[in-house]
Amino acid sequence: MPRKISRREFVRTSTAAGVAVGASTTVFAKAPAIQTNTIKPVVVASNNGNVYKNGGAEVGVQKAFNLITKGGDVLDALIAGVNLCELDPADTSVGYGGLPNADGIVQLDSCCMHGPTRRAGGVASIEGVRTPSLVAKAVLEVTDHHLLVGKGAQEFARNMGLKVEDDLNTDKSRALWLEWKRRIDPEHYLDPKKRGQAMEMASLSMVRDGLIDPDHYYGTINCDGVNSKGEVCGVTTTSGLAWKIPGRVGDSPILGAGLYVDGDVGAAGSTGRGEANLYNLCSFLIVEQMRMGKSPKDAGMEALRRIQKNTVEKRLLNPRGLPNFGINFYIVNKKGEYAGVSMYAANYAVCTENGPQTLPCEPLHPGRASE
Ligand code: GLY
């Protein structure tokens, strides 16, 4: 169990620098979406877990893996890994420099779960704190609650000694928001239906023009891991849907949706269209499927099929009658077996004793979401 810590100690450990050094490798070769180990430690994450280093030497999954194999608490290690993405302004899907809401304000969501102690903490719509995962961890550590939101979450973070800033935009995220404002109907408040369409068109045209990484429209990093003792934890952190209605909360901070961990079974988390995940509570579903004996890959495919079955609104279907959005799940069980699964082709990040790798997810459907 993570021991209780004082506020001062919390801030000190949260800002400690990392240690191990190693070069990341990116492997796009054909690779299995699931591998079996005998409790060999492993960390899985969304693709950005093997991309961003925040100016350091390690990517997120590598940092987490190295801390785990040095005997660190699994959740502390995973959070240190995702902190790299939260702090790196180049990742516009998470933390500092995350794409803002429709009003140009960066609002962040995060949650974490600690398998061995069955504890969890989360924050939603928090502004001004670069590392919402650390606030989520503080909720887990020092409160009797799970989820703090908005101003309350920000005040809690301040009381925990975390720095609260006026604005988490970078020049890049602000410029992209201004470009979005330019592309959306200049009158802005049309009737809700037309406004929704205009938002979709403006956002998709920015993806098509290469201004927004398609993975950063819904944003997010999820990171899950297991150590050699079979202790499983997970964390998810995000700036959420780009240009969202202020106050919109996605799946990321919601237990059972953006993340679920059962210390006896394993962990699952997601990136992609949060609303589809919330309607189906897929991380919980995946962990329950694994409890009933399914492999991480098969459990994940079941969740994707559930999302497809429950996606019936025409506006959410592509010409093939399939979901017109991407959604991915990253899964690890207590035995160290893992998988990445996706509605359409996507990659995920893994770190094992072989170092960090980027592997293809197992897709439910060929082609792209829009086709
Ligand atoms: N999956 C991230 C979001 O929808 O906010």
Residue 29 has pLDDT above 80, yes or no: no
Query: Nearest C-alpha to atom 5 of ligand 1 is from which residue?
Result: 240
Q: How far apart are CA 67 and CA 179, in angstroms?
A: 40
| Per-residue model confidence as pLDDT tens digits over 247-277 | 999 999 999 999 999 999 999 999 999 999 9
Among candidate residues 266, 252, 263, the one with its CA nearest the CA of residue 222: 252
What percentage of the chain reaches a pLDDT higher than 90? 76
Residue 9 has pLDDT above 90, yes or no: no
Would you place residue 216 in the very low, low, confident or very high pLDDT band (cuts 50, 70, 90)? low
The rounded mean pLDDT for the chain is 88
Is the Cα torsion angle 353, 354, 356, 357 positive or negative in sign? negative
Ligand 1 contact, 98 CB (< 6 A): no
Question: Which sequence positions are flagged as catalytic?
Answer: 220
Mean pLDDT of 36-65: 93
Nearest-atom number in ligand 1 for the CA of 258 is 1
Query: Nearest C-alpha to atom 4 of ligand 1 is from which residue?
Result: 274
274 neighbors 240 (Cβ within 8 angstroms):
yes
Mean pLDDT of 300-327: 96
Mean pLDDT of 355-371: 96
Ligand 1 contact, 250 CB (< 6 A): yes
User: Residue 260 Cα, ligand 1 centroid: separation in angstroms?
Assistant: 15
Which one is predicted more confidently, 277 or 242? 277
Which one is predicted more confidently, 16 or 171? 171
**pLDDT for position 208:** 78
Mean pLDDT of 52-68: 97
Mean pLDDT of 15-27: 33
Nearest-atom number in ligand 1 for the CA of 270 is 1
**pLDDT for position 206:** 78
Among candidate residues 149, 361, 369, 196, the one with its CA nearest the CA of residue 276: 369
One-letter-per-residue 3-state SS of the chain: CCCCCCHHHHHHHHCCCCCCCCCCCCCCCCCCCEECCCCCCEEEEEHHHHCCCCCCCCCHHHHHHHHHHCCCCHHHHHHHHHHHHHHCCCCCCCCCCCCCCCCCCCCEEEEEEECCCCEEEEEEEECCCCCHHHHHHHHHHHCCCCEEEHHHHHHHHHHCCCCCCCCCCCHHHHHHHHHHHHHCCCCCCCCHHHHHHHHHHHHHHHHHCCCCCHHHHHCCEEEEEECCCCCEEEEEEECCCCCCCCCCCCCCCCECCCEEEECCCEEEEEEECHHHHHHHCHHHHHHHHHHCCCCHHHHHHHHHHHHHHHCCCHHHECCCCCECCCEEEEEEECCCCEEEEECCCCEEEEEECCEEEEEECEECCCCCCCC
**pLDDT for position 219:** 72
**pLDDT for position 33:** 57
Q: How far apart are CA 31 and CA 33, in angstroms?
A: 6
Beta-bridge mates of residue 323: 317
| pTM, to two decimals | 0.85
Residue 37 has pLDDT above 70, yes or no: no
**pLDDT for position 251:** 98
Ligand 1 contact, 274 CB (< 6 A): yes
| Per-residue model confidence as pLDDT tens digits over 120-163 | 999 999 999 999 999 999 999 999 999 999 999 999 999 999 99
**pLDDT for position 115:** 98
Ligand 1 contact, 252 CB (< 6 A): yes
Which amino acid, 122? G
User: Residue 249 Cα, ligand 1 centroid: separation in angstroms?
Assistant: 8
Mean pLDDT of 72-92: 97
Nearest-atom number in ligand 1 for the CA of 249 is 5
Would you place residue 202 in the very low, low, confident or very high pLDDT band (cuts 50, 70, 90)? confident
Mean pLDDT of 44-62: 97
**pLDDT for position 27:** 43
**pLDDT for position 283:** 98
What percentage of the chain reaches a pLDDT higher than 70? 84
Would you place residue 191 in the very low, low, confident or very high pLDDT band (cuts 50, 70, 90)? low
Q: How far apart are CA 304 and CA 211, in angstroms?
A: 28
**pLDDT for position 217:** 66
**pLDDT for position 184:** 77
Mean pLDDT of 193-211: 71
**pLDDT for position 16:** 32
